[in-house]
Amino acid sequence: MSHKTTMGGPDESFEQTHWSEILDARTTDDARRSAAVSYIARRYWKPVYCYLLRKGYDGEHCKDLTQGFFTDVLLERQLIQKADPAKGKFRSLLLTALNNYVVSAHRSETAGKRADARPLLSIGDTEDLPIAEDRASVTPADAFNYAWASDVLNGVLTELQAEYTSHDMASHWAVFREHVVLPVLEGSRPRPLKELCAQYGVEEAQQMSEIVRNAKRAFGKLLRKHIGQTVGSEDEIDAEIADLMAAVSKPGARGGSGVRID
């Protein structure tokens, strides 16, 4: 078992992929714009759906409204044109737009003018989405943020696992998973380092402790990379992580399998 890792990518891992896509959607080329909006819809449909569900709409209605939101607001009303990395987080802009959309959608439906939802994205299985169970204490915005944070963490953990596996270090991922991730997600006690040493053929607990530390750092680096893709600059990463932590710390937010690990 090797104990050195470059998992989590190089130090200069900040990328603007997410914002690049958003800014790309400003093009006058319809095909490119539609592709960029589809990308954003794929990234954000779960939080949008959870928000609508928490608003009290049933599953089918949520699907319609989710489609409608991305088509009407992002594609046709060109919310993207207003998006500016210098003016704050895209997540906040989307949440505000969603709030306004729900009000106007309700108005349209009341007036018998329900918008025809053209399918922009394929909404998959919604059974296991992270939905707030304690509805009294969880606002729709909380549900949105919880689903978004879960999705980001899913992406980070999936990439970390893939990186470890591709570097023939699957055992490091297994240690991280059993000693850090599962205890947090399941509320169980971490498996003792000595036990993990015996299972994975590591001689000293100190070495195992180093593996755990390195895995946490790799996880941290990837988390910063993923969050970095959704904010305007690297300076905003810490603030966004703190904001998400505060948003999901409210009691009652409870997942389906909010964060999955295989």
Report in angstroms the alpha-carbon separations of 11 from 7, 8, 82, 177, 218. Answer: 10, 8, 31, 23, 10
Rounded CA-CA distance 219/162 in Å is 12
Interface residue with other proteins among 25, 53, 175, 244 (CB under 8 A) is 244
Closest CB 204 distance from other proteins, rounded Å: 18
Rounded CA-CA distance 182/166 in Å is 22
Residue 242 is a binding residue for other proteins (CB under 8 A)? yes
Closest CB 243 distance from other proteins, rounded Å: 10
Residue 254 is a binding residue for other proteins (CB under 8 A)? yes
* x/- letters, 127..156, toward other proteins (CB under 8 A): ---x-----------x---x--xx--x--x
Point out which span in 75-83, 95-103, 116-124, 222-230 binds other proteins (CB under 8 A).
222-230
Closest CB 121 distance from other proteins, rounded Å: 24
Cβ atoms < 10 Å from Cβ of 9: 16
The residues in 162-221 that bind other proteins, with binding defined as CB under 8 A, are: 174, 177-178, 180-182, 184-188, 213, 216-217, 219-221
In order, the DSSP letters of 4-39 are ---TT--S-----HHHHHHHHTTSS-HHHHHHHHHH
Q: Which amino acid would we find at residue 97?
A: A
Identity of the residue, 23 or 259, whose beta carbon is nearer to other proteins in the bound complex: 259
Of 132, 122, 142, 1, nearest in space to 63 by CA: 122
Q: Which residues contact 113 (CB under 8 A, 6 or more apart)?
A: none
Rounded CA-CA distance 70/73 in Å is 6
Residue 262 is a binding residue for other proteins (CB under 8 A)? yes
Identity of the residue, 80 or 211, whose beta carbon is nearer to other proteins in the bound complex: 211
Rounded CA-CA distance 67/58 in Å is 14
Residue 235 is a binding residue for other proteins (CB under 8 A)? no
In the complex, the residues that contact other proteins under the rule CB under 8 A are 130, 142, 146, 149-150, 153, 156, 174, 177-178, 180-182, 184-188, 213, 216-217, 219-224, 238, 241-242, 244-246, 248-259, 262
